[in-house]
Amino acid sequence: MKAQVLAIDDSRTIRTLLAATLEEYDFEVTTAVDGVDGLEKFAETAPRVVITDINMPNLDGFGVIEGIRTGSINKTVPIIVLSTESGAELKDRARKAGATGWIVKPFDEASLVSVLKRITGI
């Protein structure tokens, strides 16, 4: 069975790149265009891991993390932040909100896949 990944990013290019990369490594990928869409799809798909951008319209990545961690569905799912941001304050805020890790864009395909395999146990 393939591990389900939810990738939330307002950039169509990043969503397409994530889906293509991860599907090549046998992950099943659902994408969302912003945090609101992401939380809706999170409830529908029950992913094994969530990848979220921070800067998005409607609901940012911090809102996504907080929404998942305070919700009633799969509250302990690993959440990886994938962002162009790399400031220590933002990373600390994400960690305190419940993020599992942080990867800076542009991402290294091998490193991302390695992290996801380790997290999902596949």
* Lowest mean per-residue pLDDT among 3-7, 28-32, 102-106: 102-106
Class of domain 3-107: alpha beta
| b/e code 22-50 from CB counts within 10 Å (16+ = b) | beebebbbbbbbbbbbbbebbeebebbbb
Q: Tens digits of per-residue pLDDT, 61-110?
A: 999 999 999 998 889 999 999 999 889 999 999 999 999 999 999 888 99
pLDDT tier at 1 (50, 70, 90 boundaries)? low
Domain ranges of the chain: 3-107
User: pLDDT at position 31, please?
Assistant: 98
